[in-house]
Amino acid sequence: MTTFHQLLRQGAEEFGTRTAIRFEDASVSYEALLDRVEQVAGGLSALGVSAADHVALVMDNSLECVWAWLASSVIGCTEVPINPQYRGDLLAYLLNDSETSVIVCDAHYLAQVTEIAAKLPLLRMILVSGDTTVTNAGAVPVLGFDWLVSGEPIVVNDDAPERVILYTSGTTGPSKGVVHTQKSMLTLSRYNAEMLEYGPEDRLLNFFPLYHQNARYTGVIPALCAGASIRIQKRLSTSTFWQTCAEDGVTAFNYLGSVLRLILNVTPPDLTAERHTIRKAFGAGAPPPIWQDLEARLGIRLVEVYGLSEAPMATVNVRKGAQGSQIGSAGRASDLFEIAIVDADDQVLAPGGIGEIVLRPKRPDAMMLGYYGKDAATVRAWRNLWFHSGDRGRLSETGDLFFEEREKDSIRRRGENISAWEVEGVLDMHPHVAESAVYGIADADADEEVAAALVLIDPDADLAAILRFAAERLPRYAVPSLLRVLKDLPRTPTEKVQKAELRKTARADHRTATDILAADAA
């Protein structure tokens, strides 16, 4: 029996008819969750899906997504959650890189899956949630998922690898698959539940996508570990946030960066701690003024962390029986990891010194196994006994971590990490673009906006056409919202593009994508 199958069985035995998951108008008890997941796992087994399969999910948040995820984990498949906004060559790369053999997708994502099916030599089955008349994608059968309920017994494989492959945003190259196991994800989930002090009385809210580590392993699984319930939403709705929290009696929610500002923007000015049920929130990137307002006025305790897909919850700002960390910091080394700051020679710096954040696990099943199929990249990340994060920061005298900047070439927009390298790769494919450089411009409501500096082959090139070209090939959130045309890109003496100089450019010196497309339509 797999790790998560045991967790579901224990939850059903201990918490029975208590509500485990809420989605829209549906409530699912711990008993019903186990029953449904085992039925779907039996159906998958009847179709020949086994622990040897790599199962990719291309789905929006839904109960069907939960069934597919947990059923594949019960079988022991290698799980590959995929951002459904990927399409074309980028989607094909992820599915090939992960050696996906079975895809489960929503009906409205089927077209973007079938159009690349011929490029996926290992793919042998597509399961569709929702109505479709498509029966095959070339030689690959397309089957319905919604009716996938079977009385067939689940084949229990005690030797199942129980792997989970989570894709990071590529920085200097294609996205890498971070390999975890169900055991390492359960370690994270239990530690998350412990730090948030979750119990059966808690009601969680999570609006992040289920392909994120956040929603899965610091949301759903911690709730199940604690006997709590969790409401899963398709996305954040600021207009109904407080209404939902009041109706459900929400006690905790997850956030990233700008989410807290969006919530405060719709918070009634006279709302105080006595008039709502939320008592804690988990996340990263809370601006200090917003942090103070949430804690002082609304009585919401923020559990702030620093972590990576490779090493989640490396720091935490609260500890039982210990003095809290300074507001604005990401906390101190957690019970899962050691953390240090090193210079370019990997020498550990004294408190206050700014350098690269490095870390290593304190216990088994806390950190990734490596990058899938990329042994060289795994070795490069592990140097001199430390895992190198690519992020810069400093430690205070008390061990509090302060994030300085990201060495990696990535952009963060509304909680999504965007690979500048991948966006540049798409822009550079356009026949009128000689070269591009993609970078972030700070934005109070969205963390960063995606900006692109373009060197054009034709000075009169149609910028609207370039934007549409990008929109057809990139996730919506990764399409540049700001453009700037240059004769050449700023460079170092060794011809490296100076992204730091581009980031200093004022927003007003760019043209917005909205204005470009509006002018083209006029």
In a shared domain, residues 56 and 143 = yes
Q: What per-residue confidence (pLDDT) applies to 150?
A: 61
Residue 246 lies in a domain: yes
Please write the tens of the pLDDT for every residue from 141-177: 999 987 776 666 676 667 889 999 999 876 556 889 9
Give the CA dihedral 83, 164, 254, 250, nearest 10 degrees.
110
In a shared domain, residues 11 and 125 = yes
Residue 98 lies in a domain: yes
Please write the tens of the pLDDT for every residue from 89-109: 999 999 999 999 999 999 999
Is residue 136 classed as helix, strand or coil in its secondary structure? strand
Residue 80 lies in a domain: yes
Residue 392 has pLDDT above 80, yes or no: yes
Residue 404 lies in a domain: no
More reliable by pLDDT, 46 or 27 = 27
CATH number, domain of 444, equals 3.30.300.30
* Cα distance between residue 455 and residue 135, in whole Å: 45
In a shared domain, residues 147 and 35 = yes
User: Which one of 134, 161, 188 terminates a domain?
Assistant: 161
Residue 414 has pLDDT above 90, yes or no: no
Read off the pTM. Answer: 0.84
Strand-pair category, 102-106 with 140-144: unpaired
Residue 407 has pLDDT above 80, yes or no: no
In sequence order, which residues have a C-beta less than 8 Å from that of residue 243 and are 6 or more positions away? Answer: none
Q: Which residues of 383-420 are buried (b: 16+ CB within 10 A; e: fewer)?
A: eeebbbbbbbbbbeeeebbbbeebebbbbbbbbbbbbb
Of 65, 56, 136, 61, the closest CA to residue 93 belongs to 56
- Contact (CB, 8 A) for 264 and 293: yes
3-state helix, strand, coil in the chain (%, to 5): 30, 30, 40
In a shared domain, residues 144 and 211 = no
Residue 290 has pLDDT above 70, yes or no: yes
Q: Which residue, chain included where needed, has tokens 């692109």?
A: 452
Residue 181 lies in a domain: no
* Cα distance between residue 359 and residue 395, in whole Å: 13
In a shared domain, residues 133 and 247 = no
Q: Which domain holds residue 496?
A: 412-521
In a shared domain, residues 40 and 142 = yes
Query: Per mean pLDDT, which range of 82-96, 140-154, 285-299, 302-316 is the poorest?
Result: 140-154
What's the mean pLDDT in 111-119?
96
Residue 39 has pLDDT above 70, yes or no: yes
- Contact (CB, 8 A) for 409 and 502: no
Radius of gyration, alpha carbons of the chain? 23
User: Which one of 115, 139, 161 terminates a domain?
Assistant: 161
CATH number, domain of 8, equals 3.40.50.12780
Residue 274 lies in a domain: yes
**Which neighbouring-strand residues pair with 447?**
413, 443
Q: What per-residue confidence (pLDDT) applies to 322?
A: 57
The tally of domains found in the chain comes to 3
Amino acid at 369: L
Q: How confident is the model at residue 406 (pLDDT cuts 50, 70, 90)?
A: low
What's the mean pLDDT in 420-430?
89
Of 204, 223, 207, the closest CA to residue 15 belongs to 223
88's tokens: 């074309």
19's tokens: 């509500």
Residue 217 lies in a domain: yes
In a shared domain, residues 152 and 91 = yes
- Report percent pLDDT > 90 for the chain: 75
In a shared domain, residues 7 and 124 = yes
In a shared domain, residues 139 and 32 = yes
* Cα distance between residue 129 and residue 142, in whole Å: 11
In a shared domain, residues 156 and 203 = no
Residue 44 has pLDDT above 60, yes or no: yes
In a shared domain, residues 8 and 154 = yes
485 burial (CB, 10 Å; 0-12 / 13-18 / 19+) is middle
In a shared domain, residues 70 and 154 = yes
**Ranges assigned E (strand) in 287-400:** 301-306, 315-316, 332-333, 337-342, 355-361, 370-371, 382-383, 386-395
Residue 183 lies in a domain: no
Q: What per-residue confidence (pLDDT) applies to 493?
A: 57
CATH number, domain of 257, equals 3.40.50.980
Residue 137 has pLDDT above 80, yes or no: yes
* Cα distance between residue 412 and residue 479, in whole Å: 13
What's the mean pLDDT in 488-506?
79
User: Which one of 249, 282, 306 terminates a domain?
Assistant: 306
Amino acid at 181: T
| DSSP structural state of residue 457 | S
